Amino acid sequence: MSGLLPDRIDVLRLAETGRTLRGRLPLAALTRLAPTLHTVEGEVAVEMSGSKEGRVRTLHGRIVTTLSMVCQRCLEPMTVPIDVQFQLGLVTTEEQAERLPEGLEPLLIAEPTLRLAEVIEDELVLALPIVALHPEGSACAARVPAAVAAVEPVEPEPRKNPFAALAQLKNSH
């Protein structure tokens, strides 16, 4: 499947059949991610496959996009390329989540169908930088030192000892 991704899918069935989904999702559809972005223009390219090994059903795939965020150093827009791969173990109970093989993150399935945008949004939120900053050596990094260099350092005044007068009195007697 190519083009826009469906809104809801049966991920358990996807895992049982081993199908692969390929498509796009508009960034504007990711309402929890939107407040962290400068603009919500653009799309997310997604490829995901389901599989079943024994009793473990998985959903794995790749998400690629470029996000527009605000640099926290210069407060100007910047682009953040995202290319994240994920492997999720599909579970219906907490006990199943505890028994998942290492390397699989649990995805708790409470309903027969799942909003695909929520899964994609969760993975994108986890892939975001902790603090959005232009890379070192970029125009942003060059502006900050110039602004800091314009401010001359202030030498602190020598501290006066409040007991100096007492020391003089003691030495004079």
| Burial degree of 72 (CB within 10 A; 0-12, 13-18, 19+) | middle
Contact call for residues 36 and 71 (beta carbons, < 8 A):
no
Q: Which of 43, 63, 48 is nearest to 125 (CA)?
A: 63
Mean pLDDT of 54-81: 88
Transcribe 31-86 into DSSP letters: TTTGGG-SB--SEEEEEEEEEEETTEEEEEEEEEEEEEEE-TTT--EEEEEEEEEE
Per-residue pLDDT for 51 more than 60? yes
- Measured in degrees and rounded to the nearest 5, phi and psi for residue 81 equal -75, 135
User: For residue 98, what are its two tokens?
Assistant: 């505890």
Percent of the chain with pLDDT over 70: 90
**CA distance linking residue 37 with residue 106, whole number of Å:** 27
Q: Nearest 5 degrees, angle CA 82-CA 35-CA 109?
A: 70
pTM reported for the whole predicted model: 0.72
pLDDT in tens, 79-126: 889 999 999 888 888 888 888 888 888 888 888 788 888 889 999 998
User: Can you give the pLDDT at residue 2?
Assistant: 59
